[in-house]
């Protein structure tokens, strides 16, 4: 899912501390925020947009001007299921679920509802998405133009901080980004590495792709199957090669169980699919110059 | 959160799945006493690992003397890194056949997955390698749940010796245990058919979703706390994700991905990280206690601080680290890499307070930290 500047964005949990801070950053950057949700503050105005009791109410009130397309959730873990189902029922085409530590049974529930409704979900446990020069959704430092600048490399990342570092390395090498897609660090997420890869494959603004993966699960292996069919050059960095087995490395999804989810398994699958697997983040710049330097990548 | 057999089986019993009569014991004497009421028994090590049988942690006994001897042999064993502190003395079933049944969260289908195999007593990967046709999988829409009809459909075509309805009933009840307790995994292996035709769960593994513990606070008290070192326990008390490792380069970074990467790059340059410690998310305001934690490890010879701000602001984190440095005044060399949200302010602070500039890349910072640790190690 790539969020565009033209997308109408709703913020669920807009009045909280983080909701307020990041809504202001998003608005400054160009994100088209059309409203917010807080059942206790319906009827008020916050961050210069109206606050509604629910996403359904927002949809009703905003219907004449086009409702909303994407909802960004600044909601505590145990409230996310209800908020997500509200947004899906209101017809959201996309959700950005930032919250970490949502019970997985709740996640599976609203992902099933989203799938049936044709709603794309980023996260949970994502830092969001950035379309440099256009808009961002979540808590990414999109406004830092040493890191995010318009260009033609698409970046897919399970981690916000590491994804940001990779974008910095691209920018330092002279390459901007067509989109940053933060997919999230949870084991069960709405948009997988493969889903994001398919999106960037057909995106006319994207010439090359960087996959920022990590140990745990089998998403990189699944993405490798699709990567093998792509013409656009792809590089990958996989975090966690030095991590001990059986320990969750911060992210709920980042754990090696027995011989599953290992660095080697992912690096092998991606390499076999023709993806350049780099050993350190700064090698991304070198790759970009060699793989796409001649093409118009920024 | 893992639950050992003795804590997991009552969940099955409460849901109407038969389990053998049993009694936990922490001493050979208690084990022998328990046996008297149970008759022929199995004495089973209570450790959160599936490798008990092969390690000699499961023994049969028919008399109090045999039970005492079995418990004596098992208590104090170390199995897969876990010291055995207690055993379960369990009435021995007359096993005619063994099945496998489980329900788990499945990342591929993004929903619950019910698993059944006619090859019980071995793990599911082993069974898959032996005979893939013995295994059945059913992806469930969590909104619909899993009923007897769905269970019968998944079992169709398997030879269950006429026990189809009983197996289906166990699967439905097992799914309910999974749902009611926010399980990540619940597994019965083996699910035995006894000589008198009953279905009995002889072992049970239950892992609760860590993110759902706050919905099950009473039950969670019966879970097995993860084994942690003293420093790791201290980290948890502070709400920090700290993992102690055996190297000498201390690592402080924000975000799980970036912290793992910092460890990777330290290794790439020939060094060994002393810890994993991330202060991402809301923890970014905790830089001061975080640094104190890193420095409390006596093996640390040098330090790399790698911040790449997104949600976490590098100026706030740098301020915290500077406060900690001021309080602790450590003598070891520190190597900085600072980028992202708040980096201009953070750099200015470092220049003013410490008279240092961060390295241009995290690669350089990590390489320098490895080199410093190597030099310091020489003087140990």
ipTM here = 0.93
Are A83 and A113 contained in the same domain?
Answer: yes
Sort out which chain B residues have CB atoms less than 8 A from A103's CB and list them: 182, 209, 211-212, 215
CATH code assigned at A32? 3.40.50.720
Are A155 and A288 contained in the same domain?
Answer: yes
Query: Would you say residue A130 lies in a domain?
Result: no
Are A31 and A106 contained in the same domain?
Answer: yes
pLDDT at A297 over 80: no
pLDDT in tens, B75-113: 999 998 889 999 999 999 999 999 999 999 999 999 999
pLDDT in tens, A38-59: 999 999 999 999 999 999 999 9
pLDDT at B241 over 60: yes
Q: Which of A66, A92, A122 is the last residue of a domain?
A: A122
Look up residue B70 and give its two tokens.
């079995």
Q: What does the pLDDT read at residue A88? A: 98
Query: Would you say residue A133 lies in a domain?
Result: no
Rounded Cα distance between B319 and B339, Å, is 15
Q: Is A46 a catalytic residue?
A: no
Are A176 and A233 contained in the same domain?
Answer: yes
pLDDT in tens, A189-198: 999 999 999 9
With an 8 Å Cβ cutoff, is B362 touching chain A? yes
At B379, is the pLDDT very low, low, confident or very high (cuts 50, 70, 90)?
Answer: very low
Q: List, as ranges, residues 61-120 from A with C-beta within 8 Å of B.
A: 77-78, 100-105, 108-109, 111-113, 115
Task: State which residues form the domain around A250.
Answer: 144-292
Query: Would you say residue A264 lies in a domain?
Result: yes
Question: What would the mean pLDDT of A84-108 be, rounded to a whole number?
Answer: 98
Rounded Cα distance between B151 and A104, Å, is 23
Query: Would you say residue A165 lies in a domain?
Result: yes
Task: Count Cβ neighbours within 10 Å for each residue of B255-277 and write b for 16 or more, e otherwise.
Answer: bbbbbbbbbbbbbbbebbbbbbb
Are A224 and A283 contained in the same domain?
Answer: yes
A-interface mutation test, from B108, B217, B252, B310, most A Cβ less than 10 A away? B310
CB distance B182–A214 less than 8 Å?
A: no
Question: What would the mean pLDDT of B267-278 be, rounded to a whole number?
Answer: 95
Whether the CB-CB separation of B167 and B116 falls below 8 Å is answered with yes
At B370, is the pLDDT very low, low, confident or very high (cuts 50, 70, 90)?
Answer: very high
pLDDT in tens, B163-200: 999 999 999 999 999 999 999 999 999 999 999 999 99
Are A154 and A87 contained in the same domain?
Answer: no
With an 8 Å Cβ cutoff, is B245 touching chain A? yes
Whether the CB-CB separation of B104 and B115 falls below 8 Å is answered with yes
At A136, is the pLDDT very low, low, confident or very high (cuts 50, 70, 90)?
Answer: very high
A82 φ, ψ (degrees, to nearest 5): -65, -45
Paired residues of B14 in beta bridges? none
At A204, is the pLDDT very low, low, confident or very high (cuts 50, 70, 90)?
Answer: very high
Nearest CA in chain B to A247: B243
Query: Would you say residue A265 lies in a domain?
Result: yes
pLDDT in tens, B104-122: 999 999 999 999 999 998 8
In the DSSP assignment, the letter for residue A65 is G
Q: What does the pLDDT read at residue B12? A: 98
The total domain count for chain A is 2
At B281, is the pLDDT very low, low, confident or very high (cuts 50, 70, 90)?
Answer: low
pLDDT at A298 over 50: no
Whether the CB-CB separation of A206 and A298 falls below 8 Å is answered with no
Q: Could you give all domains of chain B from N- to C-terminal order, each with its CATH number?
A: 1-19+94-224 (3.30.470.20), 21-92 (3.30.1490.20), 230-378 (3.40.50.261)
Paired residues of A72 in beta bridges? A11, A96
Chain mean pLDDT for chain B: 93
CATH code assigned at A176? 3.40.50.261
Whether the CB-CB separation of B24 and B45 falls below 8 Å is answered with no
Chain mean pLDDT for chain A: 95
Are A244 and A148 contained in the same domain?
Answer: yes
Are A154 and A255 contained in the same domain?
Answer: yes
In the DSSP assignment, the letter for residue A280 is S
CB distance B108–A237 less than 8 Å?
A: no
Are A98 and A224 contained in the same domain?
Answer: no
Are A43 and A154 contained in the same domain?
Answer: no
Nearest to B310 among A101, A139, A169 (CB): A139
Query: Would you say residue A81 lies in a domain?
Result: yes
Rounded Cα distance between B271 and B147, Å, is 54
What is the percentage of chain A residues whose pLDDT exceeds 70?
Answer: 98
Are A150 and A219 contained in the same domain?
Answer: yes
In this predicted structure, which of A16-20, A227-231, B144-148, B254-258 has the lowest mean pLDDT? Answer: B254-258
Q: List, as ranges, residues 21-60 from A with C-beta within 8 Å of B.
A: none
CA B328, B333, B338, B343 torsion-angle sign: positive
Point out the catalytic residue in the list A46, A101, A105, A251.
Answer: A251
Query: Would you say residue A98 lies in a domain?
Result: yes
Question: What would the mean pLDDT of B261-278 be, rounded to a whole number?
Answer: 95
Rounded Cα distance between B120 and B188, Å, is 9
End-to-end CA distance of chain B: 40
Query: Would you say residue A215 lies in a domain?
Result: yes
Kindly report the pTM of this predicted structure: 0.93
Are A49 and A86 contained in the same domain?
Answer: yes
In this predicted structure, which of A169-183, A247-261, B104-118, B192-206 has the lowest mean pLDDT? Answer: A247-261
């Amino acid at each position: 899912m790539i969020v565009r500047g033209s997308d109408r964005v709703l913020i669920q949990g807009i009045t909280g501390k983080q909701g307020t801070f990041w809504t202001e950053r998003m608005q400054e950057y160009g994100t088209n925020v059309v409203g917010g949700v807080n059942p206790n503050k319906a009827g008020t105005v916050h961050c210069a947009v109206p606050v509604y009791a629910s996403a359904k109410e927002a949809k009703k009130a905003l219907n004449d001007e086009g409702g909303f397309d994407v909802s960004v959730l600044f909601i505590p873990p145990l409230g996310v299921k209800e908020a997500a189902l509200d947004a899906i029922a209101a017809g959201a085409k996309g959700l950005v679920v930032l919250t970490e530590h949502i019970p997985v049974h709740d996640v599976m529930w609203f992902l099933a509802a989203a799938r049936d409704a044709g709603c794309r979900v980023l996260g949970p446990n994502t830092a969001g998405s950035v379309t440099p020069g256009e808009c961002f959704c979540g808590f990414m430092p999109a406004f830092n133009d040493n890191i995010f600048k318009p260009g033609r490399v698409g970046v897919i990342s399970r981690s916000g901080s590491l994804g940001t570092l990779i974008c910095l390395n691209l920018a330092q090498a002279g390459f901007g980004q067509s989109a940053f897609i933060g997919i999230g660090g949870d084991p069960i997420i709405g948009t997988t590495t493969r889903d994001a890869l398919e999106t960037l494959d057909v995106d006319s603004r994207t010439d090359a792709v960087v996959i920022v993966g990590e140990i745990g699960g089998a998403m990189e292996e699944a993405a490798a199957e699709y990567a093998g069919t792509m013409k656009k050059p792809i590089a990958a960095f996989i975090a966690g090669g030095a991590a001990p087995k059986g320990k969750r490395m911060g992210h709920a999804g980042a754990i090696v169980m027995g011989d599953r989810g290992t660095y080697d398994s992912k690096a092998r699958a991606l390499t076999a699919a023709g993806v350049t697997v780099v050993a350190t983040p700064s090698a991304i710049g070198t790759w970009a110059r060699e793989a796409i330097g001649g093409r118009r990548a920024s | 959160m893992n639950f050992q057999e003795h804590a997991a089986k009552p969940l099955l019993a409460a849901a109407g799945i038969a389990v053998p009569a049993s009694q936990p014991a922490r001493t050979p004497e208690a084990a022998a006493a328990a046996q008297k009421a149970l008759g022929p028994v199995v004495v089973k090590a209570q450790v959160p690992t599936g490798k008990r049988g092969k390690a000699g942690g499961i023994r049969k006994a028919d008399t109090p003397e045999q039970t005492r001897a079995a418990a004596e042999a098992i208590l104090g064993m170390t199995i897969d890194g876990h010291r055995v502190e207690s055993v379960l003395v369990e009435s021995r079933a007359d096993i005619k056949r063994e099945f496998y049944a489980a329900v788990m969260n499945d990342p591929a289908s993004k929903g619950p997955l019910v698993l059944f195999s006619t090859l019980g007593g071995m793990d599911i990967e082993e069974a898959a390698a032996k005979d893939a046709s013995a295994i059945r999988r059913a992806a469930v829409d969590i909104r619909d749940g899993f009923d007897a009809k769905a269970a019968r459909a998944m079992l169709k075509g398997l030879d269950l010796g006429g026990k189809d309805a009983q197996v289906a009933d166990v699967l439905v009840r097992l799914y309910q245990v999974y749902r009611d307790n926010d399980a990540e995994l619940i597994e019965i292996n083996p699910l035995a058919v006894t000589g008198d035709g009953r279905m009995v769960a002889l072992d049970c593994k239950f892992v609760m979703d860590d993110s759902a513990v706050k919905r099950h606070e009473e039950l969670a008290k019966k879970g097995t706390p993860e084994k942690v070192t003293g420093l790791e326990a201290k980290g948890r008390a502070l709400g920090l994700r700290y993992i102690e490792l055996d190297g000498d380069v201390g690592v402080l970074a924000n975000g799980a991905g970036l912290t793992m990467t910092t460890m990777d790059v330290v290794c790439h340059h020939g060094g060994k990280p002393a810890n994993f410690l991330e202060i991402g998310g809301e923890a970014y305001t905790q830089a001061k206690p975080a640094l104190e934690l890193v420095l409390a490890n006596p093996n640390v010879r040098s330090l790399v601080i790698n911040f790449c701000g997104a949600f976490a602001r590098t100026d706030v984190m740098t301020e915290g680290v500077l406060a900690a440095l001021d309080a602790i005044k450590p003598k070891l060399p520190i190597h900085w890499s600072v980028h992202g949200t708040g980096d201009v302010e953070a750099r200015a602070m470092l220049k003013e307070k410490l008279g240092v500039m961060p390295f241009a890349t995290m690669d350089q910072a990590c390489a320098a930290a490895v080199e410093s640790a190597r030099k310091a190690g020489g003087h140990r």
